[in-house]
Structure 1
Amino acid sequence: MFKEINGLPGHILVIHAAVVFVPLLALLASAYGLVPRWRPRLGWAVAILAVVTPVITWVATESGEAFEEFLKGKGYPPELLAKIEEHSGYGDRTLWVTLGLAVAALLLLALTSGRVRAPRLPSWVTWLLTGVIVVLSGFALVYVYLTGDTGAASVWGNTL
């Protein structure tokens, strides 16, 4: 299912969406929590990104797994396959951190938007959740970078 899109490796096409959407979610969710006056303007974007980004990241990891299996079947050298395995590990971590970030962002939206009936919570809960979002955002940015860097290194090596 994730191996090819119109004859091209699906992973190569999908990863670009993840490289854009993960940082967008990280930055907008952090801004939503840190700057309360921006919440009315950012809420809809954070909600959409919190739903779409984990799906895109999951598709990127699944297409990567399919691509990795394809390469293993072609007899690529073990050192290249080791680089791809490292890249795959970073991709898996990116998926889990992105999923946690999305859940935290949706929870913050639910608590602050006024659209969900929730008991009145102390303000420190909102700030604690914002802190969690900022930390997860930092991890998401680091892991999306490491994933992309190891992926590029496995393809291009030191030729750049």
Structure 2
Amino acid sequence: MFREISGLPGHVLVIHAVVVLVPLLALASVAYGVLPRWRSRLDWAVAGLAVVTPIATFVAKESGEAFEEALRQRGLGGELLRKIEEHSEYGSTLLWFTIGLAVAALLLLLVTSGLARVRALPRWLAPVLTGVVIVLAAFALVYVYQTGDTGAQAVWSGTL
């Protein structure tokens, strides 16, 4: 299912969505948390990105594993295999940080919406969730960079 899209390796196509969506989710959710005046403009963008980004990241991870398996079947080994395994580890970690960021962003949306205020949530909850979003956004940005960098090294270092 994740191996090919119109005859091309699916991973090569899907990763571009992740490279765009993860930083967008990180920046939009941090902006939503730290800039209360912008919340009414960012709420739908954050909600949409929080749903779509983990899905795209999951598809990229699964398609990468299918691509790696296809390369193994062709006799992949040595230094290239080590680079691809490192890339795969970064991608797996990125998925978890992306899921965490998405959940934290959605919780922040709920806590700061008028619906949540009716339920009398503690006042400290929004700032704490904003802090969690900032930390998770930083990790997601670092891991999207590391994942992309190790993947690019595997492809462009002349070994693939």
- State the TM-score, normalized to the length of structure 2: 0.96
Q: Distance in 1 between matches of 2:158 and 2:131?
A: 38
Cα drift, residue 77 of structure 1 = 2.9
- 5 Å matches for 1:129-148? 129-148=129-148
Q: Which residue of 2 aligns with 1:58?
A: 58
Unaligned stretches of 5+ residues in structure 2: none
Structure 1 Cα separation of the partners of residues 115 and 10 of structure 2: 38
Query: Residue 46 of structure 2 aligns with which residue?
Result: 46
Q: What does 1:60-79 correspond to in 2, within 5 Å? A: 60-79=60-79
Is 1:94 equivalent to 2:94 in the alignment? yes
| Distance in 1 of aligned mates of 2:123 and 2:142 | 29
Aligned-residue CA RMSD (Å): 1.4
The range that moved more, 77-86 or 23-32, is 77-86
Moved more, 107-116 or 145-154: 107-116
Asked if the contact 1:98–1:140 (Cα under 8 Å) also holds between the matched residues in 2, the reply is: yes
Instruction: Answer whether contact 1:87 1:151 (CA < 8 A) is retained.
Output: yes
In structure 1, runs of 5+ residues without a counterpart are none
- Aligned counterparts of 2:115 and 2:51: Cα–Cα separation in 1: 17
CA distance, structure 2, for counterparts of residue 20 and residue 115 of structure 1: 31
Tell me which residue corresponds to 1:82. Answer: 82
CA distance in 2, matches of 1:130, 1:59: 27
8 Å contact kept, 2:111–2:125? no
Aligned counterpart, 2:104: 104
Q: How does 1:28-43 map to 2 (within 5 A)?
A: 28-43=28-43
Counterpart Cα distance in 2 of 1:158 and 1:35:
45
Query: Structure 1-normalised TM-score?
Result: 0.96
The separation in 2 between residues aligned to 1:121 and 1:130, in whole angstroms, is: 15
Identity of aligned residues (%): 67
| Residue of structure 2 equivalent to 1:12 | 12
Equivalent residues, number: 159
Once the two structures are superposed, residues 52-73 of structure 1 have per-residue CA deviations (whole angstroms, 9 ceiling, x without a partner) of 0000000000000000000011
